[in-house]
Amino acid sequence: MILVVTPVARVQECAEAIQTATQEGVQVAPSLRQALTLLRTQEYSAVLFDQTFEETEPDDSEMALERLGMAIPVQMNFAISKVDRVVREVRGALQRRKKEVKLARQGAQQAMRNELKGPVTALLLSCEMALQLPNLQEAVEAKIRAVYDLAQEVRSKLDAPA
């Protein structure tokens, strides 16, 4: 969902063009107050702000920017921008957001791999040492072997490419 925040009269034309170009739903808020209400109740992929709000309502503009969540902000001057330019800006912003999310996900996956490799290796070694103990009861050996097999499975998933 995309939110367009502008009091400009031809906003509906822009909203329809954005929806057609991005295949995402578009909501329109004619004021920052309405935008703040929508931002509390809905998650957006992008929020287009009319640049005039930044100059005329700086406090509300700041509050809106703080409540964006994962949405990418796009500043536009709707009074002078043609619809096709607005659509290009939105597409570009969504592509940047998609790339940033992908990079963040890859970074988080790599960090998790790095974080878990040591404990998984220690678990495997502990299981191997426990399995080498003399006079190990069958039930205990079976449980340790099950833990060892699970740890091996986790290790193989950590070593697999993302």
Last residue in a domain, options 67, 86, 105: 105
Mean pLDDT by 10 residues, the chain (162 residues): 91 92 94 92 93 86 88 90 92 92 91 92 94 92 95 88 68
Round to whole Å and give the CA distance between 15 and 148: 56
Same domain, yes or no, for 51 and 112?
no
Same domain, yes or no, for 12 and 86?
yes
* Chain mean position to CA 33: 25
Same domain, yes or no, for 99 and 32?
yes
Same domain, yes or no, for 38 and 118?
no
Residue-range definition of the domain harbouring residue 141: 107-159
Same domain, yes or no, for 68 and 146?
no
Round to whole Å and give the CA distance between 59 and 112: 39
Same domain, yes or no, for 119 and 140?
yes
Edge-to-edge strand ranges of the sheet holding 26-29: 26-29, 2-5, 46-50, 72-76
pTM beyond cutoff 0.75? no
6: domain CATH number is 3.40.50.2300
Same domain, yes or no, for 78 and 121?
no
Same domain, yes or no, for 72 and 138?
no
| Residue 106 half-sphere exposure toward CB, CA atoms < 13 A | 8
Q: How far is CA 86 from CA 76, 92, 133, in A?
A: 7, 10, 70
In the chain, the number of structural domains is: 2
Return the pLDDT at 162: 61
